[in-house]
Amino acid sequence: MISVADASARILERIERLPSEGVALSGAVDRVLAARVVAPITSPPWDNASMDGYAARSADLGSSADAMPVLLKVVANIAAGQFAPRALETGEAMRIMTGAPVPKNADSVIRHEDTDNGTDTVAITQLRDAGRNVRMAGEDFRSGDVLFEAGEQIGVAHLGVLASAGVQAVDVYRRPRVAIISSGDELVELADFTTVNAGERIVSSNSVTLAAMVRDAGGEPVDLGIASDSAASVRAKLEQARDCDLILTSAGLSVGDHDYMRSAFDDLRGELVFWKVKMRPGAPLAFGMLAAIPWVGVSGNPVSAMVSFEVFVRPVLRKMLGLNRIFRRTIPVAVADPITLAAPLMHFLRVVVDRSADGGFVARSAGSQSSAVVTAMARANALLILPGDVREVRAGEIHRALPLGDDLEMTSQLTLQ
């Protein structure tokens, strides 16, 4: 058995980023940039009004100590999408709409509510907008600026920036295709639930959860179905996975008479790197290479499979996707209740993390820590990480927790004043 850190390092050193491909901007959300994006234009391209009102020169407005109102001659109307017919001269103003280019010499846009309109004049009754409400050219970015670096994941705001820069397509890393293979004669697909009702079989829930986790991590699951408890069946499934970027199997890793995953892998001349890790749940964990394709084998126990995915497989997919940050960040949490551990293994306990009264985080058990109890995993929003040399944990001790989402949902509410 090797440590969790050693196992992770051995896996990731064999993982490469996938090749890039061009995609239209409309389909680029959540993809990872494979190349730096440089602004081809300046945005905004000209000084423009940030609200409806009157473009004016602050030099014509005087100061708050002067008598009000200030009368200016209205010489033009500038709608959005239009340009001023000429520069603004002393004592003049131009009616202007939000987003329209301000005329040359103007440095202020006076909002409507601070004016009284005449036929050809405007009376400025309030000077709070002197020198304000003008968005300067290049305020967002300038031509030649680096907008985003390779390795950044494209979010909705990224799309807005790229669209405003005129970028219609981007180079992104290809999504990894992940072959998912479950094994065991006791398993059936969800569609065959009648045999479960008859008490003869159990559903292959790993097929469902692992596919969903792959999709959530940015990959494309390829469900190859269930291998029966025979070396020939397992070999056939592994052969079907040769056009994928990663092979993910569940069960069949132990040394029982019906555990054929490792022997089938050997028959296909795969390179086995390791097959046991000092952790709970998820100690049966295998990693190897089938030709150039990485293989990760996880336990058949549903919770073990999901925990192993979070600890080992998600970072693999993030590296394949080209992300700069491979691991999710852990957070410090105070343990709410005492814990006793029986084995000298690194434990990943299913917990619910909430905000504490002092603004920190507190972790409470999500329920049974059995690797077969999926309901506790469903309630959990984090995994409490306890090192292998820890056997007793006192209430209030600070340890690290691995969030099960990019943004840990807390019960504390945002209060709007």
pLDDT digits (tens, 9 = 90+) for 140-173: 999 999 999 999 999 999 999 999 999 999 999 9
Prediction pTM value:
0.87
Q: Which of 74-88, 179-193, 236-250 is the least confident region?
A: 179-193
The confidence score (pLDDT) of residue 413 equals 44
Q: At 94, is the pLDDT very low, low, confident or very high (cuts 50, 70, 90)?
A: very high
Evaluate if residue 410 carries a pLDDT over 80. no
The confidence score (pLDDT) of residue 417 equals 41
Helix ranges (DSSP H) in 254-373: 261-267, 302-308, 314-320
pLDDT one-digit tens code per residue, 3-42: 999 999 999 999 999 999 999 999 999 999 999 999 999 9
Long-range contacts of 283-286 (CB under 8 A, 24+ apart): 283/1, 283/345, 284/253, 284/254, 285/7, 285/253, 285/312, 286/253, 286/261, 286/262
| Averaged confidence pLDDT in the chain | 92
Q: At 399, is the pLDDT very low, low, confident or very high (cuts 50, 70, 90)?
A: very high
What's the rounded mean pLDDT across residues 371-376? 91
Distance CA 55, CA 84 (A): 10
Evaluate if residue 241 carries a pLDDT over 60. yes
